[in-house]
Structure 1
Amino acid sequence: MRYFGLIGKPLVHSFSQRYFTQKFQEESIDAAYGLYELDKIEDLKQLCQQKSFSGLNVTIPYKQSVLPYLSEFDETARAVGAVNVIKFVRRSGEVVLKGYNSDVIGFHDSLVPLLRPYHKRALVFGTGGASKAVEYVLSRLGIEVQLVSRQAKDSVLSYEQITPEVLQSYQLLVNATPLGTFPHVDTCVDIPYQNITNKHLLYDLVYNPQETLFLRHGKERGAQVMNGYAMLRGQAEAAWEIWNKQE
């Protein structure tokens, strides 16, 4: 049997275990997928000693802090600076942990069909590991990116700086924070939603609930909206391909 799993904290909202368990059953794959909630990333080493993994997914808050525990990276993960897939490569009697980023694939493939010619500038809310993949994809698509966080620093704006004028000049809004995730469904990024128009596209990486407060605010004002479910499926399928690709 092959062993896979997800590391992060918290994991109560996880889609991955359901997705892969169903996949293994339907395709008669001799494998198991577990949830491994780590209090700190340092616990990864002990976890890897307890079970002979073939692959792991990585979620909040460890997509960046996991990097020092990996020996190799593919080009995309290195460029993004965040990892959400670990492949356990057995080579010459040793186990090498190699990092990948399939969030890039999931986000790109789910976003591109929604883009219009006027989606030239994007506000990305959040500066964690998920936002790294978003920023990477948008930059490669030629879309200007402005990061937004709770505190302004360097080239990052604070939420207080998102004025109606700023919002009008950025037609693509991406929530890469956990705000709005079940059970905290009454939370969302603090921006002047009253200035959203039908030219705006709101993309929320959160997938549970299906319609977050962030998306609801956009929908009420005629904006195009998209939750993170398609991205999630896309990154999961890409992870499976990575784990099964011959090195």
Structure 2
Amino acid sequence: MRRIVLFGYRGTGKTAIGTVLARRLGVPFLDTDALIEQQSGRTIPEIFRKDDEERFRTLEREAIAGLPARDIVIGTGGGVVMDPKNMEHLRAQSTCVLLTAEIATIRRRLARAPRPPLTSLPADQEIAEVIARRRHNYAAAADFCVDTSRTTNEEAAGRILGLLEHGTIPAPVREAAAKWFAATPLPAPEREQLQSLLTGPGHDPRTRFLGVAGWPCGHSRSPLLFNRLFEKYQLDCHYTRFEDPSISAIMETARSIDAKGLSVTIPFKQDVMACLDEIDDAARQIGAINTVVFACGEAYGCNTDWLGIKKPLAGHKGARAVLLGAGGVAAAAAYALMDLGMEVTILNRTPEKARALAERSGCRWGAWDDFDRTNPDLVVNATPVGMQPDTKSPLRDDQLKKEMTVFDLVYTPPVTPLITAARKAGCATIIGTEVFIHQAREQFRLFFGIDVPDTVIREILA
């Protein structure tokens, strides 16, 4: 069997429930905190008191790296989810279950087995604050969720066994989802593979589904990238395309099959916000979403586009920048450029849209024809012009000066007409693939808690 790994804040029942679950499965149970105490010859409170949390995390990382690969139930420490290396080791060939409980329940349980406080706050406030700080990490750790607030250990173990055997998607829902995907423009090989995973003989109920949501999204390289990453990190997941003109229909299907996450692309980055339970601060300020994480019945919206744009521009802090476009991608670009302290002017063929985004972002704005008066150091194209099949450039060749750096956020094709013209003019250039690499890396961390090196993504996309 695959490993079963239990995550959750301390006091949610990982050790007690894990012991029952292991007994019922007929396999060993290993508690990582107990393993650390055994290997170090000291109790956890002693390690915290005589050393510090950093030393404890080092010991925890070493213990987790040496855990058996199969046929075992593992209970983890509450903060283990904060370390990407831990998540890489724990998620491999594992089914991961997040245990949750109400704050009052956790407080009562912790009172029976005191541990060093994590902050100087009162107990209830500390629990709430630490859980909030780790919330996205816990979501990344969850294949399945079980609320243990009102269950006995036997009942909670029984629920987990039910999830392991049946998953969360009833057979009629699987059939309906398979029909929905069959009616979309999903390429035949991808459709056949997805149909097999949803309804085929011997399908695994523990397989989690993710995908890119767009209309259209047939050009996206995300399925190739993510499915290769699933193989590398040994994750029981499948990434497909949710291609439909309605974001509501996409979200309904995603929720019905208990999807793990979505990468959201044109034209849904703004419309999807109305379909979410929670939106992070950066995405709210940008006004666009490109990442949805589903966990414990809720959908969380984030934006990793701005990080994908910021990383390749780290050496351009303080530059004079012209941003072409005023849509969802442009909003993320404006956020990234302002975060780098640049002087930003937004230009759009509909000046009112440029003005609206500029006022929201704290930038200057103008009409498209104002480009020749801006004298920028950096030009960022956040329009879809240049994306296949629209093979044009948003600027004339004579508008490109060799002193400029040109960054085209379009990544299909990798070398767009704008990039080709900029190179002929002697400009420094950054291609849109760089955005895709860095934003996808951050998406993968949000989905699974694992930090993928840039080099791994580049090798897959090469």
TM over 0.5: yes
Partner deviation per Cα, 1:113-160 (whole Å, 9 max, x = no partner): 4x2x7x621111111111111100111111011111112223542222
What is the aligned partner in structure 2 of residue 188 from structure 1? 393
Q: Distance in 2 between matches of 1:236 and 1:60?
A: 16
With over 3 angstroms needed to count, the CA separation of the structure-2 counterparts of 1:45 and 1:19, relative to structure 1, is closer
Mapping 1:57-96, distance limit 5 Å: 57-90=263-296, 95-96=297-298
Q: Is residue 333 of structure 2 the alignment partner of residue 128 of structure 1?
A: no
Q: Distance in 1 between matches of 2:369 and 2:300?
A: 39
What is the aligned partner in structure 1 of residue 308 from structure 2? 106
What is the aligned partner in structure 2 of residue 19 from structure 1? 225
Mapping 1:186-225, distance limit 5 Å: 187-189=392-394, 191-225=395-429
Compute the displacement of 1:49 (Å): 4.2
Q: Distance in 1 between matches of 2:370 and 2:306?
A: 28
Whether the aligned pair in 2 keeps the contact of 1:122 and 1:144 (CA below 8 Å) is: yes
Q: Distance in 1 between matches of 2:312 and 2:370?
A: 29
Whether the aligned pair in 1 keeps the contact of 2:214 and 2:243 (CA below 8 Å) is: yes
RMSD: 1.8
The one of 311, 335, 344 equivalent to 1:145 is 344
Higher relative contact order (CA 8 A, sep 6+): 1
3-state SS of 2:217 partner = coil
Residue identity in the other structure for 1:159 = W
Residue identity in the other structure for 2:247 = I
Residue identity in the other structure for 2:383 = T
Whether the aligned pair in 2 keeps the contact of 1:179 and 1:188 (CA below 8 Å) is: yes
Partner deviation per Cα, 1:160-193 (whole Å, 9 max, x = no partner): 2323x33xx21110111111112222x121x343
With over 3 angstroms needed to count, the CA separation of the structure-2 counterparts of 1:245 and 1:21, relative to structure 1, is closer
Q: Tell me, which stretches of 5 or more residues in structure 1 are unaligned? A: none
Mapping 1:23-62, distance limit 5 Å: 23-62=229-268
Q: Is residue 299 of structure 2 the alignment partner of residue 97 of structure 1?
A: yes
Compute the displacement of 1:53 (Å): 0.4
Q: Is residue 215 of structure 2 the alignment partner of residue 9 of structure 1?
A: yes
Partner deviation per Cα, 1:46-69 (whole Å, 9 max, x = no partner): 313431101111001111111111
**Structure with the higher helix share, 1 or 2:** 2
What is the aligned partner in structure 2 of residue 157 from structure 1? 366
Q: Distance in 2 between matches of 1:88 and 1:42?
A: 15
Q: Distance in 1 between matches of 2:302 and 2:251?
A: 18
Q: Tell me, which stretches of 5 or more residues in structure 2 are unaligned? A: 1-206, 359-364, 451-462
Residue identity in the other structure for 2:335 = Y
3-state SS of 1:44 partner = helix
Q: TM-score, normalised by structure 1?
A: 0.89
The one of 416, 431, 436 equivalent to 1:227 is 431
Whether the aligned pair in 1 keeps the contact of 2:212 and 2:265 (CA below 8 Å) is: yes
3-state SS of 2:380 partner = strand
Report the number of matched residues. 234
Q: TM-score, normalised by structure 2?
A: 0.49
What is the aligned partner in structure 1 of residue 187 from structure 2? none
What is the aligned partner in structure 2 of residue 240 from structure 1? 444
Compute the displacement of 1:42 (Å): 2.4
Q: Distance in 1 between matches of 2:449 and 2:224?
A: 22
Q: Distance in 2 between matches of 1:45 and 1:184?
A: 28
3-state SS of 1:46 partner = helix
Q: Distance in 1 between matches of 2:319 and 2:247?
A: 37
Compute the displacement of 1:237 (Å): 1.2
Whether the aligned pair in 1 keeps the contact of 2:377 and 2:404 (CA below 8 Å) is: yes
Residue identity in the other structure for 2:311 = D
Q: Distance in 2 between matches of 1:224 and 1:104?
A: 21
Identity in percent: 29
Partner deviation per Cα, 1:186-242 (whole Å, 9 max, x = no partner): x121x3431422210100011122211111121111100111112101111111111
3-state SS of 1:48 partner = helix
**Structure with the higher strand share, 1 or 2:** 1
